Amino acid sequence: MEAEPPKLSTYLGFDFSTQQVKALVIADDLKVLQEAAVHFDSELPEFRTQGGVIQGANGEVTSPVVMWIKALDLVLDKLRVAGTDFSTVAALSGSGQQHGSVWWKRGTREVLTNLDPQKFLHHQLNSSLFSRPNAPVWMDVSTTIQCQMLEEKLGGAQRLADISGSRAYERFTGNQIARTHSTNPDIYGNTEHISLVSSFACSLMLGDYAPIDLSDGSGMNLLDINTKDWHEDCLKACGVGLRSLLGSPVPSNTVVGKVSNFYVERYGFSAECNVVAFTGDNPSSLAAMRLDRGDVALSLGTSDTLFLSTSRPTPGLEGHVFVSPIDPDLYMGMLCFSNGSLTREGVRDKCAEGSWDIFSELLESTPRGNFGNMGGSVGSMGGSVGSMGGSVGSMEKCRVLATGGASRNKALLQIAADVFQAPVYTMNVSNSAALGGAYRAKHAFRGGAYEDVIPCPTYTLATEPAADASKIYGQMLDRLDMFEQKLLAESGAT
């Protein structure tokens, strides 16, 4: 009797984040079967990154594209060693750090669509095939002039926010593209396609250029979040022929094709394995966390972000509105703070002998409120959250759901509980972005309502606000608000 072919019953999720590529496989009941990660600085030292990036001149911050490609080969190998049977993967999806852009050189599609399974991926897609071998990433702040120009051309910061969900931000891809267009016309002219990090990672698995999804596409200052298409005036303000360079955006739950034959031959994937559009890491975390009414997610990764799901977006001059990664008729509101884990690591190394345990002890032995001194993104977030629809503490039955590498630090979570004046919960998987990839893969494969396919995960109460938190932090948040207003007035921004 012939053996039955293995069932397509598992789902694979990736996350191409700032410091590492992570991947995990889940069973049909959503249980995590295998997990693996490749840390750029320590496991791919030949690329000489620090925190996954290279600091350049004039505020430029980039990452080598080939480092990401090599990490994909390695992470798949690690999964295989951990016992993954790729032939059972029914669908895969994933996420990438937001806003970064990958510039494919003219003629590269030919290589991408004809990958040789006998060779390493990074030997075939080498740096000569990218018109910018080092991709600009979300930490890049070199585009202040382009931001000013975009807001002027679109009729002001608020109008741009009404259209694209955000005023102009240096890291947003449209402004990054505008800078290359004006300062490096040769590079621009030599490019046949521009991907986000998410759609680039998806392209690697698809073996062809994958479309940008609506949710990550909302972080570009180019997409009209109301019509769900590129906005013509934004495109024109940032470059020439951009509609064709970017391709058409698609809803995040789109099946974009079958996995490339490269992975069928090299890793034993089924030729029927579906590839679902990848999205941004924060949207992907939202998909994993299944945020309910009153839930606010706090992601403590390389950057710190705060986000929630909403049906009534109110784009303002602070924060971002993205199309939801789950349902293109819904939205997600987000605040992002770049001084997250790397800043905390700096403090740990300077004041706590490089030990998170000592860091936590010091934090716990400092009186609540730190004698009125303010700093750190978790503290600042409490003041800024008003721009997303009211103070978290005043929301009925609010929960703060923490994720990301630093969410395992109880002392930090206590500060979050006190500042937000709400209980803080954690999931048992801190790698929520990759998990969201696997969940979205399953949803797109199965179809139907997201909440029917992906039941709410179990959360564990990590900590509750201290009794005196509202007295201490309430006053500090008022002071923080006053400082911000003063600074804005002095800078002429209001």
Ligand X SMILES: Nc1ncnc2c1ncn2[C@@H]1O[C@H](COP(=O)(O)OP(=O)(O)O)[C@@H](O)[C@H]1O
| Residues at the contact surface with ligand X, assessed by CB under 6 A | 17-20, 301-302, 341, 344-345, 356, 404-406, 408-409
Among 10, 13, 18, 178, binds ligand 5SP (CB under 6 A): 18
Out of ligand X, ligand 5SP, none, what residue 171 binds, judged by CB under 5 to 8 A for its kind, is ligand 5SP
Out of ligand X, ligand 5SP, none, what residue 213 binds, judged by CB under 5 to 8 A for its kind, is none
**Minimum distance of ligand X from residue 353's CB (angstroms):** 14
What b-and-e string marks burial along 123-142, b requiring 16 or more CB atoms within 10 Å of the CB?
Answer: eebeeebbbbebbbbbbbeb
Pair of tokens at residue 363: 């934090």
Quick one: residue 227, left, alpha or beta (phi over 0 = left, psi -120 to 50 = alpha)? alpha
- By CB under 6 A, is residue 305 in contact with ligand 5SP? yes
Out of ligand X, ligand 5SP, none, what residue 47 binds, judged by CB under 5 to 8 A for its kind, is none
Out of ligand 5SP, ligand X, none, what residue 345 binds, judged by CB under 5 to 8 A for its kind, is ligand X
- By CB under 6 A, is residue 336 in contact with ligand 5SP? yes
Among 198, 199, 254, 303, binds ligand 5SP (CB under 6 A): 303
Close Cβ partners of 428 (under 8 Å, ≥ 6 residues apart) = 458, 460
The string of DSSP letters for 47-80 reads G--BTTBEE-STT-EEEEHHHHHHHHHHHHHHHH
Hey, what's the torsion of the CAs at 39, 129, 230, 445, to 10 degrees? -60
N-term to C-term CA, the chain:
77
**Minimum distance of ligand 5SP from residue 478's CB (angstroms):** 27
Among 138, 263, 359, 420, binds ligand 5SP (CB under 6 A): 138
Out of ligand 5SP, ligand X, none, what residue 324 binds, judged by CB under 5 to 8 A for its kind, is none
**Minimum distance of ligand X from residue 493's CB (angstroms):** 29
Give me the long-range contacts of 268-271 (CB less than 8 A, separation at least 24).
Answer: 268/85, 268/86, 268/87, 269/86, 269/87, 269/89, 270/6, 270/8, 270/86, 270/87, 270/88, 270/89, 270/90
CA distance 141 to 261: 39
Out of ligand X, ligand 5SP, none, what residue 436 binds, judged by CB under 5 to 8 A for its kind, is none
The residue with tokens 């079967």 is 33
Of the two residues 170 and 418, which places its CB atom closer to ligand 5SP in the complex? 170
The residue with tokens 């003219």 is 106
Out of ligand X, ligand 5SP, none, what residue 405 binds, judged by CB under 5 to 8 A for its kind, is ligand X
**262 membership: H or E segment, kind and range:** helix 261-267
- By CB under 6 A, is residue 267 in contact with ligand 5SP? no
Of the two residues 40 and 103, which places its CB atom closer to ligand 5SP in the complex? 40
**Minimum distance of ligand 5SP from residue 95's CB (angstroms):** 9
What b-and-e string marks burial along 381-419, b requiring 16 or more CB atoms within 10 Å of the CB?
Answer: bbbbbbbbbebbbebeebbbbbbbbbbebebbbbbbbbb
**Minimum distance of ligand X from residue 171's CB (angstroms):** 14
Out of ligand 5SP, ligand X, none, what residue 98 binds, judged by CB under 5 to 8 A for its kind, is ligand 5SP
Of the two residues 34 and 341, which places its CB atom closer to ligand X in the complex? 341
The residue with tokens 């490609």 is 69
**Minimum distance of ligand 5SP from residue 431's CB (angstroms):** 10
> What x/- string results for residues 207 through 236 when contact with ligand 5SP is judged by CB under 6 A?
------------x-----------------
- By CB under 6 A, is residue 98 in contact with ligand 5SP? yes
**Minimum distance of ligand X from residue 19's CB (angstroms):** 4
Out of ligand 5SP, ligand X, none, what residue 279 binds, judged by CB under 5 to 8 A for its kind, is none
**Minimum distance of ligand 5SP from residue 344's CB (angstroms):** 12
Quick one: residue 395, left, alpha or beta (phi over 0 = left, psi -120 to 50 = alpha)? beta
Q: How many CA atoms lie within 13 A of 343 on its CB side?
A: 12
- By CB under 6 A, is residue 282 in contact with ligand 5SP? yes
**Minimum distance of ligand X from residue 17's CB (angstroms):** 3
**Minimum distance of ligand 5SP from residue 370's CB (angstroms):** 24
CA distance 462 to 19: 26
In 3D space, the residue among 413, 412, 439, 409 whose CA is nearest the CA of residue 425 turns out to be 413
Out of ligand 5SP, ligand X, none, what residue 356 binds, judged by CB under 5 to 8 A for its kind, is ligand X
CA distance 387 to 296: 13
Residues in contact with ligand 5SP, counted by CB under 6 A, come to a total of 16
Of 24-32, 40-48, 302-310, 358-366, which part binds ligand 5SP (CB under 6 A)?
A: 302-310
CA distance 168 to 237: 12
Among 22, 70, 78, 99, binds ligand 5SP (CB under 6 A): 99
Pair of tokens at residue 315: 């784009």
Largest CA distance in the chain: 81
> What x/- string results for residues 39 through 78 when contact with ligand 5SP is judged by CB under 6 A?
----------------------------------------
- By CB under 6 A, is residue 476 in contact with ligand 5SP? no
Pairing of strands 61-64, 134-136: antiparallel
CA distance 197 to 173: 11
Residues making contact with ligand 5SP (CB under 6 A): 17-18, 97-99, 138, 171, 219, 280-282, 301-303, 305, 336
